[in-house]
Amino acid sequence: MSSSERHARVKEIFLAVCEEAPGDRERALDEACAGDEDLRREVATLLALDEKTTHSARTRPAETNVIGAFRLLQKVGEGGMGEVWEAEQQQPVRRRVALKLVKWGMDTREVLARFESERQALVLMSHPNIARAFEAGASDEGRPFFAMEYVKGLPLTAYCDAQRLDTRRRLELFCQVCEGVQHAHQKGVIHRDIKPSNILVAIEDGRPVPKIIDFGVAKATSQRLTERTLFTELGQWIGTPEYMSPEQAELTGLDVDTRSDVYSLGVVLYELLAGAQPFDSEELRSGGFDEMRRRIREDEPPRPSTRVSGLGPASQLAAERRRTDRPGLVRTLRGDLDWIVMKALEKDRTRRYASPSELADLGEDRTLEQMLVGRLGHAEVDDLRHALAGFVRDDDVRRFDVAVDHALLVRVLHRVADPDEQIEARARVQAPRIAVLGDRHAPHEFHHEVRTSVGGGACVEDLGDVRVAHHRQRLALGIE
């Protein structure tokens, strides 16, 4: 590890440990350093200096509780670099605001750049699901601040659990969050730290409204957010490990685009649905810095339904918070919801949803995938999409046909009305035959062949329509 990488790692661990409560810092330091005594000693020295500075700040004359037009009421949050106060704006209008202040002794070039960057990011945006920025300035002592909308509410997951919202209502709130993130992306801003604690649920006109806060590590895609130079990307940990995309864990900052936020939204959705994160937080952090990065980049998490099944007694509590029982929750998640979440969590960003609006299905365009999704399951359609990509590359009409017919067969197996094992076994035996029916039969004949091969009703009344869609797609592609 080079000296610059070492310095960046020391700094990142220091800032992360500063976020912990005083009683938890030793444990957090041990976990982050993972047995590297030299690294631990360097970080501990910085922590001691920070504590000394903090003590010095406590002994200086108390700062007035009025900053400009704002009267400070109570501190509601504190991080490694800043403080957040609930305050009352006294003029030109009276309103409750959240006032963010740079901490004493932390007014370095980098901190001021981040502070200004966050303020500018908020100014760019105007959306009901993003906390608004009002104004900025500095205290008489020179501490920069900016005032923003005060969101009095719980983090998204805590709110949903407290209200015992079912899966449908959780998804409704999540779609609002996607709209807010989509707006930020349209304004050229990537959040890079989307997590439940940065999504607070306020009650407006009697209905819950999620508000995205804390753009402190936001990244611009089309313009600079600040005139101050900010060289903090290389080798620095940007974001929260449990919600961090694989490309963020690379620490280069060079491959991070809006799809990184899509990944983080996928983790939030996973937690909303399953009641647990894809990777257990304690286990993820216990392996040390490099192992944590490796797992984020390489390890595939279980599907949400599988995660629920493995939670033990906690799974029943998760189900009750969603107004169902454990088997009911597993059934709800298995299938499309599993697939949607796992697509958002793809390690390869090119296979994720391209945007938050696509994740929430907010767009108007009807693609092949959307056209078939009402008939086929998402997983089968994804297989079709990849097979079609191969066909386009290889000019292999047969591959496209076989993929469609195979997907139809899989769907039949999943939708057999009679769970009799003999019917399922018979369908599996007939798989090779059904998989090559496409070119030899018209839609109505294909329908008959599938019914005959599988046996019984087998819920195939809609397969003829799907087959018609298949043939129409072949026509559109110039195949027929």
Q: pLDDT at position 61, please?
A: 40
Q: Which of 82, 78, 184, 81 is nearest to 127 (CA)?
A: 184
| Residue found by looking up tokens 């009683």 in the block | 23
CB count within 10 Å of CB 311 equals 16
CB 369 within 8 A of CB 349: no
- The answer to which of 29-43, 76-90, 126-140, 418-432 has the lowest mean pLDDT is 418-432
Q: Which two tokens stand for residue 265?
A: 């939204």
CA distance 218 to 214: 9
Query: Higher model confidence: residue 411 or residue 30?
Result: 30
Read off the pLDDT of each residue in 165-174 and give the average, rounded to a whole number. 93
pTM of the model: 0.66
For the chain, the first-to-last Cα distance in angstroms comes to 59
Give the long-range contacts of residues 434-437, CB within 8 A, separation 24 or more: 434/405, 434/408, 434/409, 435/402, 435/405, 435/406, 435/409, 436/401, 436/402, 436/405, 437/405
Please state, for a pLDDT cut of 70, what percent of the chain lies above it.
Answer: 64
Whether pLDDT at 220 is above 70: no
How far CA 5 is from CA of 31, 254, 260, 293, in Å, comes to: 19, 16, 23, 15
Banded pLDDT at 286 (limits 50, 70, 90): confident
Q: Which of 102-106, 145-149, 229-233, 291-295 has the lowest mean pLDDT?
A: 229-233
Q: Phi then psi for 84, rounded to 5 degrees?
A: -120, 125
Averaged over 456-465, what is the pLDDT?
42
Lowest mean pLDDT among 32-46, 48-62, 176-190: 48-62
Q: What confidence tier does 437 reach under pLDDT thresholds 50, 70, 90?
A: very low
Alpha-carbon Rg for the chain in angstroms:
27
Classify burial at 443, counting beta carbons within 10 Å of its beta carbon; exposed 0-12, middle 13-18, buried 19 or more. Answer: middle
**Nearest Cα to 285, choosing from 11, 39, 27?**
27
Residue 11 has pLDDT above 70, yes or no: yes
Nearest to 17 by CA among 34, 30, 6: 30
Q: What would the mean pLDDT of 207-211 be, rounded to a whole number?
A: 96
| 218 close to 116: Cβ distance less than 8 angstroms | no
Alpha-carbon span 283 to 291, nearest angstrom: 11
For 207, phi and psi rounded to 5 degrees?
-125, 150
Residues carrying an active site annotation: 193
Amino acid sitting at position 45: T
Confidence of residue 343 (pLDDT cuts 50, 70, 90): very high
